[in-house]
Amino acid sequence: MNSVGEACTELKREYDQCFNRWFAETFLKGERAADPCGQLFRRYQLCVQKAIKEKDIPIEGLEFMGPSKGKTENSS
């Protein structure tokens, strides 16, 4: 599947491959090593954010997943 921005499609493919490899070869075997694909994800995320702005896609009211989402000061 292509990305929202044509310029982001190759980054998406690279991230997907990295994540799928890590998930199958590490995570599913019970190893809890950190995801080695974080930098690729961040590059892809920035590219998508830029494409959304350039295409003037409305995103108000949408919830996004990310490291800081779902974590509040009062959560236990």
pLDDT, position 56: 82
Question: In this predicted model, which residue has the larger pLDDT, 14 or 31?
Answer: 14
Task: Give me the residue spans of the domains in the chain.
Answer: 4-53
Supply the mean pLDDT for the chain: 81
For residues 11-34, average pLDDT:
91
Angle, nearest 10°, between helix axes 9-25 and 38-54? Answer: 150
Tokens of 58: 């409305």
Residues sharing a CB contact under 8 Å with residue 37, sequence separation 6 or more, in sequence order = 15, 18, 19, 22
Backbone angles phi, psi at 51, to 5 degrees: -65, -40
Is residue 72 pLDDT above 50, yes or no?
A: no
pTM of the model: 0.69
Tokens of 46: 């920035």
Is residue 71 pLDDT above 90, yes or no?
A: no
